[in-house]
Chain A
Amino acid sequence: MSRIFEMARLMQGNEAVAEGALAAGVRFFAGYPITPSTEIAEIMAERLPRLGGKFIQMEDEMASLAAVIGASLTGQKSITATSGPGFSLMQENIGFAAMAEVPCVIVNVQRSGPSTGMPTAPAQGDVMQARWGTHGDHPVIVLSPASVREAYDITVRAVNLAEKYRVPVILLMDEVVGHLREKVVLPALGEVEIINRPAPSPNVEEYSPYLPDENGVPPMANFGEGYRYHVTGLAHDEQGMPANDPKVLEKLLLRLHNKINYNLPDILFDEALYLDDAQVAVLAYGCSARSARRAVKEARAEGIKAGLYRPITLWPFPEQRVLEVARCAHTIIVPEMNLGQYRLEVERVVRERACVRGVHRVHGELVEPGDILAAIREVV
């Protein structure tokens, strides 16, 4: 059986997401069709029942994420996939999942906006929406792959992180990676690391649904297993019951953030290329990182000390790593298919330690290697 996975095959990014989710143990998908994410739903509709899992096409995106959360509460690893406008509609229940600490993965294959924008044109305009789209102060984990094989691996990781930390994890793709076809060799199923949500002690009577363990994450009982407890999006105490006490809310919100903040080494993934002596660093993610890699290599060929820093975990923001990049490089170039959403965050962190330059494209076409190379040449 695992032999099939060892074979090289041509695969699309969206397909890799579906395969990664299944490999990670996802057995529930609820969604609503939207370009350019729809292939994920289509593949799940075909594959899930054959694995004994469930697929449902809901009436809209609010319902989709609601159903995903409901299924997750019964113990089923659950996922949805959407694009820009649908992602906007999901924000309400992303907040719910963050507050009630229900593991789930939301794939957003970004398309250009605002509004319905250009449905099939690539963009990276949802970086801030992924971070701050829902109301209130809440933690998020946002991962962004740059290749088809990585889409597979990062989906597995997204599912694992969601379960481990009981958070909604956003897989922020872009149309280029989603629709790209590349030759990939998938790992054998036995090699895929699978992490399950922390389970409570068998003593049902003693269960406090929101009492954290030393990791800051409360063990999670599934509905129907004999632990009867209350789940709500309201501020709640460790029993899960609504509470109006400001101290309870503050303690809850700080814990929600800290369970992420205290585990950064486990959550932050990135890639570095030629950074050791780089005087000019390009900081790029997703499809823009593909162009950036080429530009950096060409710059090196010209004798320019250029390097690439590629955050795979976009949020939480990899502050320490970016500061390290700024320690060596005098300039950081941030190419993005938006008008500077992530660049502003880089500027906030590096301040006067390095110069930050953006290369921004919002016309629905890629940032090309030449655009980035030109910017590199300009600053050396």
Chain B
Amino acid sequence: MRELERYLRIEKFPHIWCPGCGNGIVLGSMLRAVKRLDLDQDQTVIVGGIGCSSRAVGYLDFNTLHTTHGRAIAFATGIKMARPDLKVIVITGDGDATAIGGNHFIHAARRNIDITLLLFNNSIYGMTGGQYSPLTPVNKKATTAPYGVIEPSFDIAELARVAGASYVGRSTTYHSSLLTGLIMEGIENKGFSLVEAVTACPTAYGRRNSMKDGLEMLLWQKENAVQIQQAKKMNPEELAGKIIIGRLHSQAAPEYTDMYEQLINRSGFQTGGTMVTPLKGTQRG
């Protein structure tokens, strides 16, 4: 951890997360990725939504922005548009990114704008105390689903892919070094990258779904994760309830801010050009 201290606002610790929470592991993986890529802290913006995971931005020594619930990607879109040279990383929770923020999520993927989205999937709304999210598996319990969830959940990685994201990866906190590698690939990818980090919330999710602590939840991840190469050899019955991890999708595609730069050139912009109001048929005098 020492080597990562330069990326943290150490004076802001202790953090708010519960004992056994996986968020610290995801954050560690992210910072290792940042370190290995040697990102410039001054030229990197980290944007968070609202939720336990999103609070991480306060602990990170970068240009950091803690936004409104669900809107992190939309704020990040403005930043990236205005300054395409900045690295923009968004960290959000499953509720933040896929419920209230679901629309922004699919549209950022569709535009393939160069933002890396690190989605902390703890299968629950942690900060508000354990209500179900669009990623809570069917039949699992939540404070607002005391009889078990009846809504099918999203495969958020698949959703990102079909919406147009050019990079999609998934790992768990048990497989944290894989997670680091995926985040690195996501950041290096020119386009919209989703890295889904399956993480443990013992407080709001585990307790209610017969996993009593963080360790048990990590072991559950270990038992249930299947590498993508392996998964390709398995049939759907064998894969039921499994978490497929690894690089799930990577396909170069035109990136939004790049295309906008081309549009600027096509529009007749010249650097240092003056501002001239076009005179249409309506002018007089």
Contacts and interface: CB of A to CB of B under 8 A. Distances in A.
B108 to A, nearest CB: 9
Given A50-B268, A241-B12, A59 B78 contact: no
Contacts of B275: 1, 22-23, 51, 189
Given A52-B269, A74-B86, A28 B74 contact: no
B12 A223 contact: no
Question: Chain A binding site: helix, strand, loop or mixed by DSSP?
Answer: mixed
Contact of B284 (A73, A96, A183): A183
Contacts of B285: 7-9
A119 B42 CA distance: 46
A356 interface: no
Contact of A76 (B47, B65, B82): B82
A58 B77 contact: yes
A323 interface: no
A262 interface: no
Contacts of B276: 1, 4
Contact of B71 (A11, A56, A62, A228): A62
Chain A interface size band reads 35 or more
A74 B225 CA distance: 40
Given A54-B82, A78-B78, A242 B58 contact: yes
B26 to A, nearest CB: 19
B154 interface: no
Contacts of B76: 70
B103 interface: yes
Nearest to A51: B275
Given A22-B275, A233-B67, A51 B269 contact: yes
Interface stretch (B28-36, B174-182, B259-267): B259-267
Interface in A77-124: 78, 92-93, 96
The SS class assigned to the B binding surface is mixed
Interface in A1-34: 1, 4-5, 7-11, 19, 22-23, 28, 30
Contacts of B249: none
A274 interface: no
A10 B283 contact: yes
B41 A67 contact: no
Contact of B64 (A8, A92, A231): A231
Interface in B34-64: 41-43, 45, 47, 57-58, 61-64
A230 B279 contact: no
Interface string A210-236: 000000000000011110111111100
Contacts of B279: 4, 7, 9
A71 interface: yes
B66 A233 contact: yes
A66 B75 contact: yes
Contacts of B284: 7-10, 183
Given A8-B284, A229-B63, A224 B78 contact: no
B239 interface: no
Interface in A222-278: 223-226, 228-234, 241-242
A59 B108 CA distance: 9
A74 B79 contact: yes
Interface string B12-37: 10000000000000000000000000
Given A62-B71, A228-B62, A28 B82 contact: yes
Contacts of A8: 283-285
Nearest to B62: A228
Contact of A56 (B42, B61, B81): B81
Interface of B: 9, 12, 41-43, 45, 47, 57-58, 61-68, 70-71, 74-83, 85-86, 103-104, 107, 260, 263-264, 266-269, 271, 273-279, 282-285
Given A23-B275, A70-B80, A189-B275, 7 more contacts: A8-B283, A50-B267, A66-B68, A67-B81, A68-B78, A230-B9, A231-B64
28 contacts: A1-B276, A7-B283, A19-B277, A28-B82, A46-B278, A47-B278, A49-B263, A49-B267, A50-B273, A54-B82, A54-B260, A58-B74, A63-B103, A66-B104, A67-B77, A70-B80, A73-B63, A76-B83, A189-B275, A223-B79, A224-B43, A224-B63, A224-B83, A228-B64, A230-B57, A230-B64, A232-B58, A233-B67
